[in-house]
């Protein structure tokens, strides 16, 4: 009886919630401008607000004139003052939390999360589940066991501000109605050794009625592989009531075939777009491509055309200005005190009513050693198309330029870990090169003009990317190896795994 009530209550809540979201979907452009002016007014007496004349900002245009695009290094002097417990610096109060992330140039980054911002982190995930329940007209999964993959929920304090990984922070805010169903246990969750943690998670879940599993694709693959190796069964055989996977962090598509093989068939998937800086989007229709941009969640968005990013005079577009199927660097202003902040993600709009996006890459993850500016979305789509024509299973891959080969013209090197190789690797190589040329005219021009030779494929040993991540102390959690780079730092470290 309790399970019946819980399931039906979830259905009612879900349908009411989806009805409420209709307003923001229709009025996103208007609401975004009002949100920005509200944020500016709230913060006009802060140090940042005084320095940037917030008191006299009356429009988006004036905001853009007075507040330059910033990265973490630009905001770091302010954040250092906040870390010392000073209020009224970026936002009116000190943050409720710092989400601690690993940076490349800045060392550890401390991303502020305010009391106003934290609820939206939870609301984004809840909304994703509610949209799924309403569309599916089925909430059976709420009665089973669920994994919400997260880093350790243990936190330290930085001058009284609780600090930890975002996923660990979120663990403290999971709704009470889900707590009893949630795995793994606290003691398992706080384990830092990722491989030992996964083994313990398997012990705690392998005989449970698992109905929802959440995590980034590389973690899901690792967890599912260990389960199938231990039991000799597909995941859907082990967990016959498993209904839903919730994933994010990286594009799911390159993992889809591998996942379906491990699962033993297709599975409902919800893709999400969360980050320490905010919860930006989720797949509001699990049967269709694209993530609904959350324009009413305390974040004002700007979009810089990718080809202009980092250049003087780059245009800062708002929702009303964006075009479909173009790549934009994502810029955020948030109710946690980030102002015109470049998060490093690249998005592409595929719909404008409502606004739906794809995450197409990272501003720092690209290959352009020869002026081609190949981005993540292009290589992932090229790989997907090549695999459709020449079936194989790819565990992971990395693309890097080879500028000074031992002989011949320079080329792109694709370091690929195959689960199952194509029947003819040379034919597959030619197809992959063709597909990338179809998607990037600059790369095509370089091949046609004999500046570059066709791409090379280097096969890697099984578990190569797993071992690489382990060697770099980046195994598990939200860590993922970049799919492409503009140098050979990662490629050189992968050399020892070549077949």
Going by C-beta distance under 8 Å and a sequence separation of 6 or more, which residues neighbour residue 29? 318, 319, 320
- The series of mean pLDDT values per 10 residues for the chain, 499 residues long, is 67 88 87 96 97 97 97 94 93 93 66 93 91 92 84 83 86 73 85 82 93 86 90 95 88 80 93 93 93 95 91 94 94 97 92 91 78 83 93 92 87 94 95 93 85 93 90 68 86 94
Angstrom distance (rounded) from CA 336 to CA 48? 13
pLDDT value of position 291: 95
Domains of the chain and any CATH numbers: 366-497 (3.30.300)
pTM over 0.85: no
* Cβ-contact 396, 465 below 8 angstroms: yes
Classify residue 361 as left (phi > 0), alpha (psi -120 to 50) or beta: left
pLDDT value of position 172: 80
Number of H helices, E strands in the chain: 19, 20
pLDDT value of position 476: 59
> What number of residues does the chain have?
499
pLDDT value of position 434: 95
Q: Smallest Cα–Cα separation from 215: which of 259, 180, 257, 172?
A: 259
- R_g of the chain, CA atoms, integer Å: 23
């Amino acid at each position: 009886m309790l399970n019946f009530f819980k399931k039906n209550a979830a259905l009612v809540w879900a349908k009411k919630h989806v009805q409420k979201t209709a307003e923001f979907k229709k009025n996103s452009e208007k609401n975004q401008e009002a949100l920005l002016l509200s944020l500016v007014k709230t913060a006009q007496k802060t140090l940042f607000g005084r320095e940037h004349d917030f008191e006299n900002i009356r429009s988006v245009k004036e905001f853009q004139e007075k507040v330059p695009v910033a990265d973490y290094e630009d905001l770091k002097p302010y954040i250092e003052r906040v870390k010392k417990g000073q209020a009224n610096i970026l936002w009116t109060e000190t943050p409720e939390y710092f989400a601690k992330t690993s940076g490349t140039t800045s060392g550890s980054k401390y991303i502020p999360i305010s009391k106003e911002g934290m609820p939206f982190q939870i609301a984004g995930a809840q909304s994703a589940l509610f949209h799924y329940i309403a569309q599916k007209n089925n909430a059976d999964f709420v009665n089973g066991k669920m994994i919400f993959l997260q880093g350790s929920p243990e936190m330290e304090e930085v001058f009284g501000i609780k600090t930890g990984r975002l996923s660990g922070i979120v663990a403290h805010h999971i709704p009470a109605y889900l707590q009893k169903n949630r795995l793994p246990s606290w003691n398992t969750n706080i384990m830092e050794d990722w491989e030992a943690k996964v083994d313990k998670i398997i012990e705690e879940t392998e005989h449970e009625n698992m109905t929802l599993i959440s995590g980034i694709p590389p973690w899901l693959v690792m967890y599912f592989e260990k389960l199938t190796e231990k039991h000799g069964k597909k995941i859907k055989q082990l967990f016959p009531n498993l209904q839903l996977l919730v994933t994010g962090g990286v594009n799911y598509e390159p993992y889809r075939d591998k996942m379906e093989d491990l699962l033993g068939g297709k599975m409902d998937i919800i893709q999400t777009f969360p980050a320490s800086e905010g919860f930006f989007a989720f797949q509001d229709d699990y049967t269709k491509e694209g993530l609904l941009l959350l324009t009413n969640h305390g974040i004002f968005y700007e979009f810089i055309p990718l080809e202009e990013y980092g250049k003087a005079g780059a245009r800062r577009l708002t929702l009303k200005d964006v075009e479909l199927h173009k790549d934009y660097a994502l810029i955020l202003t948030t109710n946690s005190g980030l102002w015109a902040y470049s998060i490093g993600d690249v998005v592409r709009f595929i719909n404008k009513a409502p606004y739906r996006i794809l995450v197409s890459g990272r501003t720092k993850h690209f290959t352009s050693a020869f002026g081609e500016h190949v981005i993540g979305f292009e290589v992932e789509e090229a790989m997907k198309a090549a695999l459709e024509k020449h079936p194989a299973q790819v565990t992971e891959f990395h693309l890097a330029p080879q500028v000074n080969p031992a002989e011949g013209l320079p080329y792109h090197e694709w370091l690929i870990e195959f689960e199952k190789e194509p029947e003819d690797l040379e034919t597959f190589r030619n197809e992959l090169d063709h597909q990338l040329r179809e998607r990037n005219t600059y790369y095509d021009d370089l091949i046609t003009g004999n500046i570059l030779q066709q791409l090379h494929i280097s096969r890697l040993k099984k578990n190569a990317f797993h071992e690489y991540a382990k060697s770099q102390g980046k195994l598990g959690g939200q860590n993922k190896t970049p799919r492409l780079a503009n140098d050979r730092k990662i490629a050189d470290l992968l050399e020892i795994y070549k077949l």
